[in-house]
Amino acid sequence: MLWLLLFYVLLLFSVSFGVGRNLTASDFYLGSRRSPWYVVAFGMIGASISGVTFVSVPGWVESTGFTYIQMCIGFFFGYCVVAYLLLPLYYRMNLTSIYGYLEARFGLSARRTGAIFFLVSKLTGSAAKLYVAVLVLHRLLFEEWGISFSMSLVGVVAIIWLYSYRGGIRTIVWTDFVQTFFLLLALSLLLVNVVGLLDVDFSSALSLVGESDYSRLFVWDDWVSPRHFFKQFLSGIFVVIVMTGLDQDLMQKNLSCKDLRSSRKNMLVYGAAFIPVNLLFLSLGVLVITFFRQTGVEVPPSGDELLPAFVRYAGPWALGCFLIGMLASAFSSADSALTSLTTSTIVDVAGWENKKGVFARRSRLVFHLLFSLLLILFALAFYSFKESSAINLIYTLVSYLYGPLLGMFAFGLFTKWNVRQSYVPFVAVAAPLLTYAVDGWLNATFSYKMGYEMLLLNGGWMFVGLLLIRSGATSGLPDTKGSC
């Protein structure tokens, strides 16, 4: 397996070296807006899927069936909202960081508040994704070599840092393209492998999936269930709006396309791709469970253990495919996170976007290193707590940390009020706390545990809070026509 991993890492370094030469600040932040839309679209599939999806979604089948597709359908409509509402605004304002909109609308305090919430949420979410991917790689490979989890984690982050810090977003766009190819190749080969082990053809495999007890797609009858269609569908829409449209990481790649038309085309294509790709992940889960039951092997109690347990039984070929898929997903989610965290800190918090020369290069280097170290520390914290349901954790974090961003952008887009900007950070902190309190009260009083709808409540509290601190004057955005 070692030679396979070495080949993959050397391939990434080759791509990084090839596209990362003669770097300018514009290349680091936005790739000089020369990224081909189809390359960005394909790479975004891998960046958005991550190792958490690769491990968790197949394992979800036993507890939730195919109902995750309800959320994926919502994802697509969320991408439509971003493509037709937010992207035109960002391109018209010629933004490097999307939180520049908050400064234009409300002032510098709002921009820094939005950026800080992004930094905390992105760092935490990326660390959770990285923890899951490295933990699986460690248990299946590195542990056998006597390497500790912490050393496995440091090694993976070091590789990511080495190929990403020099080229910025220009490198990330192309390395993500390569990594998505290997991720989808690994998924396809695992499907071929399990179908072969079941000794059926693909037509029969489709019948097995369709006729299984897990094939239920929609939940209409139980409105209390977090899997009810409208809860999942609406959550999918708003999760995409905040995790993509209000997220510097993913929007930075979209803004690296040459114009709005290319960026919109990219977003709609990869948004539509989520439904069939996740159907394949869920189908893989059904077929793996079927294989376990036919061979008398106990199905793992935790969904996150399903696929790792399968590749141990399926032989070295399946193990190799799985390891490459996990490595690709770990790299593709963490590399762009480091770049966007560095960008937002320099541009939004420090205000050094226009710095040039040695100072600009050193500041990018320092913050890239700093966030690499923080990513390691956060992932080690997850390892200490032994968090097993990382995908649920990530969506919960999204609900609490992206809610204030949702409220700020909604208030800016749908009202003309100014706000007393010195109060914005306090309102942004109060909104998640109120959401947490309401969730606890509903659970204690009505035994109702909120799901991803917490995001809407959180954004609603932020919106109401901004209404309360609005100033008497009204405001619109400065005239940005012709700026890009």
In tens, the pLDDT along 64-88 reads: 888 888 989 999 999 999 999 999 9
Q: How many CB atoms within 10 Å of residue 205?
A: 20
Look at residue 475 in the predicted model and tell me its pLDDT. 56
Q: Of 391, 410, 433, which residue is a domain's last?
A: 391
Residue 470, φ and ψ in degrees, nearest 5? -65, 150
Lookup: tokens for 191: 């499907």
Q: Three-state DSSP class for 465?
A: helix
DSSP 24-38: -HHHHHHGGG-B-HH
- Residue 107 shares a structural domain with residue 182: yes
Examine the domain organization and report whether 382 and 417 are in the same domain: no
* pLDDT of the residue at 131: 84
**CB-facing half-sphere around the CA of 11: CA atoms within 13 A:** 18
Give the contacts of 57 (CB within 8 A, at least 6 positions apart). Answer: 68, 278, 281, 282, 285, 391
Are residues 382 and 415 located together in one domain of the fold?
Answer: no
Distance CA 191, CA 196 (A): 9
Residue 444 and residue 408 in one domain: yes
Helix ranges (H only) for 301-423 are: 306-314, 316-344, 357-385, 390-401, 403-414
Would you write out the chain's pLDDT as a tens digit for each of its 484 residues? 667 778 878 887 787 777 656 555 555 666 667 788 888 888 888 777 666 677 778 888 887 888 888 989 999 999 999 999 999 999 999 888 899 999 999 999 999 999 999 998 888 888 888 887 888 888 878 888 888 999 989 998 988 888 776 666 777 788 788 878 888 888 888 888 888 888 888 888 888 888 888 888 888 887 767 778 888 898 889 888 988 899 888 888 888 888 899 999 989 998 898 899 989 999 998 999 888 888 888 888 777 778 888 887 777 777 777 787 777 777 777 777 888 888 899 989 988 877 777 787 788 888 889 999 999 998 888 887 765 455 556 667 777 888 899 999 999 999 989 999 899 999 999 999 999 999 889 888 887 777 667 888 999 999 999 999 998 666 555 544 433 3
Structural domain includes residue 73: yes
Which residues, in sequence order, are bridge partners of residue 470? 419
The number of folded domains in the chain is 2
Gap between the Cα atoms of 375 and 381, Å rounded:
10
341 and 229 housed in the same domain = yes
pLDDT of residue 125: 81
The answer to whether residue 397 is domain-embedded is: no
**DSSP string of 162-193, one letter each residue:** HHHTTTHHHHHHHHHHHHHHHHHHHHHHHHHH
DSSP state of 299: P
Q: At what angle do helices 357-385 and 108-140 cross, to 10 degrees?
A: 50
Nearest to 178 by CA among 325, 357, 297: 325
Tell me if 222 is assigned to some domain.
yes
| Residues forming a β-bridge with 419 | 470
Q: Are residues 441 and 371 in the same domain?
A: no
Range of the domain at 139: 2-391
Specify the residue for token string 């495999």: 205
Does one domain contain both 317 and 406?
no
Question: Rounded to whole angstroms, how far apart are CA atoms 421 and 449?
Answer: 34
Query: Are residues 350 and 410 both part of a single domain?
Result: no
Choosing from 369, 391, 413, the residue where a domain stops is 391
Burial class (CB in 10 A: 0-12, 13-18, 19+), 76: middle
Please indicate, yes or no, whether residues 316 and 462 belong to a single structural domain of this protein.
no
Calpha distance 280→188 (Å, rounded): 8
User: What is the per-residue DSSP string for 137-163?
Assistant: HHHHTGGGGT--HHHHHHHHHHHHHHH
Q: 102 in a domain, yes or no?
A: yes
Each residue's pLDDT tens digit, 233-249: 988 898 889 888 998 88
pLDDT given for residue 322 in this prediction: 77
| 220 shares its domain with 308 | yes
Tell me the three state secondary structure of residue 472: strand
The answer to whether residues 160 and 334 touch, using CB atoms and an 8 Å cutoff, is yes
Strand partners, 35: 257
Which residue type occupies 43? Answer: G
For residues 198 and 306, membership in a common domain is answered with yes
With respect to residue 396, please indicate whether it lies within any of the assigned structural domains.
no
What is the rounded CA–CA span in Å between residue 429 and residue 326?
35
Please check whether residue 484 lies inside any domain of the structure. no
Q: What CATH number corresponds to the domain at position 196?
A: 1.20.1730.10
Residue 115 lies in a domain: yes
The residue out of 391, 424, 455 marking a domain boundary is 391
pLDDT confidence of residue 483: 36
Direct distance between the N- and C-terminal alpha carbons of the chain, in angstroms, rounded to an integer: 48
Using only C-alpha atoms, the chain has a radius of gyration, in whole angstroms, of 22
Asked if residues 233 and 71 have their Cβ atoms less than 8 Å apart, the reply is: yes
Q: Please indicate, yes or no, if residue 79 is contained in any of the structural domains.
A: yes
- Whole-number pLDDT of residue 28: 63
Amino acid at 280: L
Examine the domain organization and report whether 159 and 276 are in the same domain. Answer: yes
Tokens of 194: 């399990």
**Could you tell me if 75 and 274 are in contact, meaning their C-beta atoms sit under 8 angstroms apart?**
yes
Integer CA distances (angstroms), 476 to 77, 186, 473, in order: 27, 49, 10
Predicted pLDDT at 27:
59
Confidence (pLDDT) at 481: 43
In 3-state terms the chain splits into helix, strand, coil percentages (rounded to 5) of 80, 0, 20
DSSP state of 349: I
Residue type, 359: F
Strand-pairing partners, residue 474, are 417
| Amino acid (one-letter) located at 273 | A
